[in-house]
């Protein structure tokens, strides 16, 4: 059993001592019969490309549990749980086992909640047996959550030693909402130190590994969530995103995801490391789903919207799902954005965008594909984003670390530097610039916006508007640990507050580099670093890693986004014979 938190908090501790005790507490919550043998762990470590399969020889899961966790997404499971065809206890136990395995292989968990999750599942089964009805639309479904969310009785340490052994005394708004819908929360997942890094490493829990290839990053800041779902230790997960923190881990792990607009999903009740109210002055993080299927992301957004989230969070502003505008049966106009105008995409990304444009234009679904140039505005957006990301000059984070003498994690060293805090007038000016950029961007959706370059369309009509645009997730493939270069392609969409989804398309192949000569002069320092990811690495590093795209619609158009993601996903899967089978 873990030590009593009250006794722990009374002990003077170094960050190393706190980390050791926190890791011991976490390890003690994995049942011995769910523990992988040394031989299995060694076999997995020797082959960085097979952590997804090396553990299967351990026989921790029964054949039925293996099939259940391998074969179902959240939507299909709910079809069985809400009709009584499956018991929640059986489903939750199977995913808890698989989460335990994922933890041992990828170090993706922070708080293990298996015992309480199984007890809740039993209560839900009792409710169904007594009433003949599910508790709600998420009845009995195991869901994992990023460590930022408060859950009563569990730490929200976000990998900071000074936050450990201080369990939450209330639930976050989204936790309350999900529980009211019948969900079962079985684990919280790892994040990078300060949540301002793109590789999920911190001094308390260590580094989360990419389950497909341990040499590549699992992403951040929702990296633990991405790794857990990729290992099928969770069927549906919740991350947060202020500059790419849902989308980058989704891309790194070959998952679907949605970054909603601010106010769509309740966000109150989280540990963000900043002072209360600071997000209202800078940029607000949003919560959203990561999953193995597109329809699971839509499921999450729909049930959250229909649950009247304003009951749980005063900032929630979303109408019910059925009252939102979706996509009717008509032709779509989709823009292709190939570059952010700041960092040029590497050959595999350029080739991917060519393929996506061609597939959509020839899909037979009536999609009109338009080339869209955003290079005149996205660099300006990025500059304002960077200004708003640290209005206190990172002072608050450095103060948190100073309590126990924690050093910065590797990716942050040299990147996170304490600077003077911005004045009220400086913050006001940045917010004014943000409002002007949002206003300017409204014209992008209209043909009169002046950035539509060419028309490879199957139809022509006057006064067109874009239904969505598609752009790369990053200017490079999934990179090795601690090498992720830039958030240009994701962060700009946060500042503009656009509804955005991620679709995994296919795996990177050896052919992606053949015949692709990258000899364009670097435009800036970020561009130079990006080119070095191509000119100074063994290109075999990227083979097999997932390539994904972002689908983008205007602010608070999540239903339209989900509809268009469905159209795009079907078109791409038809061509590639299912994106998931290629990853």
Residues contributing to the annotated binding site for substrate: 195, 221, 242-245
271: Cβ contacts below 8 Å, ≥ 6 apart = 147, 148, 150, 156, 157, 158, 163
Q: 42 φ, ψ to 5°? A: -65, -40
| Dist. CA 354–CA 180, nearest whole Å | 45
Distance from CA of residue 270 to its chain's centroid?
Answer: 16
Number of H helices, E strands in the chain: 19, 14
DSSP 4: P
C-alpha to C-alpha distance for 17 and 57, rounded to whole angstroms: 35
Provide the 3-class DSSP secondary structure of residue 372: strand
- As a whole number of angstroms, the distance between CA 265 and CA 310 comes to 9
Residue among 395, 154, 162 at smallest CA distance from 269: 154
Catalytic residue from among 245, 261, 267, 293: 245
DSSP letter, residue 415: T
Surface-to-core class of residue 514, CB atoms within 10 Å of its CB (0-12 exposed, 13-18 middle, 19+ buried): exposed
* Binding-site positions: 195, 221, 242-245
Q: Which residues contact 42 (CB under 8 A, 6 or more apart)?
A: none
Query: Please, what's the largest Cα pairwise distance for the chain?
Result: 72
Q: What angle, rounded to 10 degrees, do the helices at 74-81 and 88-106 form?
A: 150
Dihedral angle sign, alpha carbons of residues 55, 58, 59, 61: negative
Q: Which residue has the tokens 């007890």?
A: 119
Q: In sequence order, what are the residues at sequence separation of 6 or more whose Cβ sits closer than 8 angstroms to the Cβ of residue 182?
A: 124, 134, 135, 136, 137, 138, 139, 140, 141
Q: Is 221 a catalytic residue?
A: yes
What phi, psi does 150 have (nearest 5°)? Answer: -70, 130
Q: Which helix (H) or strand (E) holds 395?
A: helix 395-402
Separation in Å, CA 514 to CA 351, 407, 475, 540: 11, 42, 18, 12
Residue 288, strand partner residues: 239
Residue of 221, 222, 293, 390 marked catalytic: 221
Q: Which of 87, 146, 259, 422 is catalytic?
A: 146
The secondary structure of 271-298 as a DSSP string is --SSPTTHHHHS---EEEEEESSHHHHH
Active-site residue 146, yes or no? yes
CA distance readout (Å), 162 to 199, 321, 397: 21, 41, 11
Three-class secondary structure of residue 305 per DSSP: helix
String of DSSP letters for 101-115: HHHHHH--EEEE-HH
Catalytic status, residue 245: yes
Dihedral sign computed on CA atoms, order 437, 442, 443, 445: positive
Active site residues: 146, 221, 245
């Amino acid at each position: 059993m873990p030590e009593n938190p009250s006794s722990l908090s009374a002990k003077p501790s170094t960050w190393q001592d706190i980390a050791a005790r926190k890791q011991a507490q976490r390890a003690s919550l994995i049942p011995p019969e769910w523990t992988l043998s040394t031989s299995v762990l060694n076999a997995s470590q020797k082959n960085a490309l097979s952590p997804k399969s090396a553990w299967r020889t351990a026989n921790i899961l029964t054949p039925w549990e293996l099939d259940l966790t391998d074969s179902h997404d959240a939507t299909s499971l709910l079809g069985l749980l809400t009709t009584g065809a499956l018991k929640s206890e059986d489903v939750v136990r199977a995913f808890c086992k698989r989460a335990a395995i994922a933890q041992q292989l990828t170090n993706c968990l922070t708080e293990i909640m298996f015992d309480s999750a199984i007890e809740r599942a039993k209560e839900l089964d009792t409710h169904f047996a007594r009433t003949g009805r599910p508790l709600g639309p998420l009845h009995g479904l195991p869901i994992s959550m990023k460590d930022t969310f408060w859950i009563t009785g569990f730490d929200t340490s976000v990998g900071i030693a000074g936050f450990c052994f201080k369990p939450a005394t209330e639930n976050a708004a989204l936790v309350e909402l999900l529980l009211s819908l019948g969900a079962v929360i079985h684990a919280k997942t790892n994040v990078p130190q300060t949540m301002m890094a793109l590789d999920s490493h911190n001094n308390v829990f260590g580094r989360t590994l990419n389950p497909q290839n341990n040499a590549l990053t699992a992403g951040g800041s929702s990296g633990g969530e991405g790794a857990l779902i990729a290992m099928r230790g969770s069927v549906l997960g919740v991350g947060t995103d202020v500059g790419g923190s849902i989308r980058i881990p989704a891309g790194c792990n070959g998952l679907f995801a949605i970054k909603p607009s601010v106010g769509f999903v309740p966000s109150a009740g989280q540990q963000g490391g900043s002072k209360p109210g600071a997000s209202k002055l800078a940029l607000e993080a949003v919560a959203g789903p990561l999953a193995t299927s597109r329809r699971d992301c839509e499921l999450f957004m729909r049930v959250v919207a229909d649950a009247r989230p304003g009951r749980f969070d005063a900032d929630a502003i979303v109408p019910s799902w059925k009252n939102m505008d979706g996509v009717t049966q008509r032709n779509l106009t989709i823009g292709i954005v190939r570059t952010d105008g700041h960092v040029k995409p590497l050959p595999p990304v350029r080739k991917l965008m060519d393929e996506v444009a061609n597939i959509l234009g020839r899909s037979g679904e009536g999609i009109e594909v338009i080339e869209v140039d955003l290079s005149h505005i996205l660099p300006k957006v990025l500059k304002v984003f960077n200004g708003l990301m640290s209005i206190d000059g990172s002072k608050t984070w450095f103060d948190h670390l100073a309590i126990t003498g924690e050093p910065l994690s590797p990716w942050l060293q040299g990147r996170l530097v304490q600077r003077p805090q911005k004045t009220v007038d400086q913050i006001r000016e940045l917010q004014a610039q943000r409002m002007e950029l949002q206003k300017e961007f409204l014209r992008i959706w209209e043909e009169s916006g002046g950035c539509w370059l060419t028309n490879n369309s199957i139809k022509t009509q006057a006064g067109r508007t874009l239904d969505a645009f598609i752009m790369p997730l990053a200017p490079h493939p999934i990179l090795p640990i601690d090498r992720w270069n830039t958030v240009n392609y994701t962060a700009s969409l946060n500042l503009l507050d656009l509804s955005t989804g991620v679709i995994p398309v296919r795996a990177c192949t050896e052919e992606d580099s053949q015949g692709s000569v990258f000899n364009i002069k670097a435009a800036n320092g970020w561009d130079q670093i990006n080119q070095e990811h191509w000119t100074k690495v063994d290109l075999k590093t990227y083979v097999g890693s997932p390539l994904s795209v972002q689908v983008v619609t205007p602010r608070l158009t999540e239903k339209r986004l989900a509809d268009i993601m469905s159209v795009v996903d079907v078109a791409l899967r038809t061509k590639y014979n299912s994106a998931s089978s290629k990853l």
